Amino acid sequence: MKIITKFLVTFLTVFFIWSCNSDEVPTNDITKNIVLKSGQIYIYDFNILGDEEGATIITQPKHADISEIIRDATTNWSVVYRYKPVDGYTGSDSVEIKTCTGSDGTNCGETKLYLIEFEIRN
């Protein structure tokens, strides 16, 4: 009976430790802190060029005059984010952008979540 009890305790302990570790998913989150002057335009090039790769704005900034993803001849077909705060605004703002790279044609190979936090000053 002692052998069975020891085995069960050992098994349950190992199982519990293993199951806790399997919940830990590596994060691909990136945070950028940007200081801008009021009225200044911020541009970030993700250097994403694949046809099936891209980026999506998840949460728009609250004080933006311009907040957009651009991918055209002006960016050499690279995915670029452009932001400009509302004229005269000073304070904090932020945007969340999700990128997809390494596509196999149907699914993203890798996703990253970018949090870009702005501090707008005079």
- Which comes out higher in pLDDT, residue 79 or 3? 79
Residue 12 lies in a domain: no
Residue 89 lies in a domain: yes
Residue 82 lies in a domain: yes
- Which comes out higher in pLDDT, residue 41 or 109? 41
pLDDT in tens, 52-72: 899 999 999 999 999 999 999
- Which comes out higher in pLDDT, residue 11 or 112? 112
- Determine how β-strand 64-70 pairs with β-strand 110-121: unpaired
Structure tokens given for 118: 């702005």
pLDDT in tens, 97-119: 999 998 777 788 899 999 999 99
The 3-state DSSP class for residue 11 equals helix
Domains in the chain, number: 1
Instruction: Quote the DSSP letter at residue 18.
Output: H
- Count H helices, E strands: the chain? 1, 7
Range of the domain at 69: 26-121
Residue 18 lies in a domain: no
The whole model's pTM is what? Answer: 0.75
- 15 pLDDT band, cuts 50/70/90, is very low
CATH classification of the domain holding 99: 2.60.40.2020
Residue 54 lies in a domain: yes
pLDDT at 49 > cutoff 70: yes
Q: Answer for the pair 122, 39: CB distance below 8 angstroms, yes or no.
A: no
Residue 6 lies in a domain: no
List phi, psi (to 5°) of 31: -115, 135
| Residue 41, amino acid | I
Residue 39 lies in a domain: yes
Q: What is the pLDDT of residue 76?
A: 95
pLDDT at 38 > cutoff 70: yes
